[in-house]
Amino acid sequence: MSVLLATDGLVKNYGGLRVTDHVTLDVRAGEIHGLIGPNGAGKSTLIGQIMGEIVPDSGTISLEGHGLGSLSQAARVRRGLARTFQTPQKLGEYSAQDNVVVALLARGAAARDAGLYLERAGLSSRAALRAADLSHGERKQLELAIALATRPRVLLLDEPMAGLGAAESALMIDILRGLRGEVAMLLVEHDMTAVFALADRISVLVYGAIIASGDVASIQSDPLVREAYLGVGDA
Ligand SMILES: Nc1ncnc2c1ncn2[C@@H]1O[C@H](COP(=O)(O)OP(=O)(O)O)[C@@H](O)[C@H]1O
Ligand SMILES: [Mg+2]
């Protein structure tokens, strides 16, 4: 499988704290690459660097073989990156549909396509509601619809299941499964059930460093991962 997104030796420090410690990982065409790790491991900071919101101290990020250098966030979106947030950002007086229309118009696409992206995100029946009136889970779906409307090659998902109930999580898993193959994903997630259900490969981040990377079975049985993260060290 061809590599779409790659980071190489990425480092980010906040004062004396190393939050990203030589992170080298890639996301390949068609795959869902899960990224798990405890709170504060540096998952969101990594997404921020890939999106150009946070400037790394060293290392490189490339998309389809082209270094992203100091490209702006908007330029990265044009190159094919999109993200969602741990806490949904898009709110307000506008309807769910209009929020998607804005994203479409921003790239010169037809407003009538909004329904398509709302449908992919499971929101067809809620299109006319004000974003502010959607439930937390529906706002996460709306963020996904907006991200999809930019037609990303690689979608960066920052804890799409965060704050969702069991039924909402199951729905989000279905929605993401429906996108598999169409768009590659870096799935940052705390919810193990979701990661194990969705990911083709998983990387484990602890204190900013990747301590293991592999398929679901190898991560589930990795003694280092079990001890450091799953908290079930073999005594
Ligand atoms: N702007 C910042 N300034 C200082 N420290 C930060 C900043 N952003 C994040 N951190 C710290 O970096 C670490 C990683 O944070 P984060 O990437 O949000 O972790 P995660 O998403 O894995 O929970 C944490 O210790 C956090 O407190
Ligand atoms: Mg985070």
Average pLDDT over all residues of the chain: 93
Cα of 161 to ligand 1 centre, how many Å? Answer: 19
CATH code that applies to domain 3-80+152-230: 3.40.50.300
**Would you give the end-to-end CA distance of the chain in angstroms?**
38
Model pLDDT, residue 235: 41
Residues 6+ apart with CB under 8 A from 66: 79
Tokens coding 70:
């100091």
pLDDT by residue (tens digit) across 202-232? 999 999 999 999 999 999 898 888 887 666 5
What number is the average pLDDT over the span 80-96? 85
Q: Where are the domains of the chain?
A: 3-80+152-230, 91-151
Q: Does 41 have pLDDT greater than 60? A: yes
Tokens coding 88:
């949904």
Residues 84-122 as b/e (b if ≥16 CB within 10 A, e otherwise) read bbbebebeeeebbbbbbbebbeeeebeeeebeebbebbb
Counting Cα atoms < 13 Å in the Cβ hemisphere of 190 gives 14
The structure's pTM equals 0.95
Q: Which atom of ligand 1 is nearest to the CA of 48?
A: 17
Looking at all shown ligands, the one closest to residue 158's CA atom is: 2
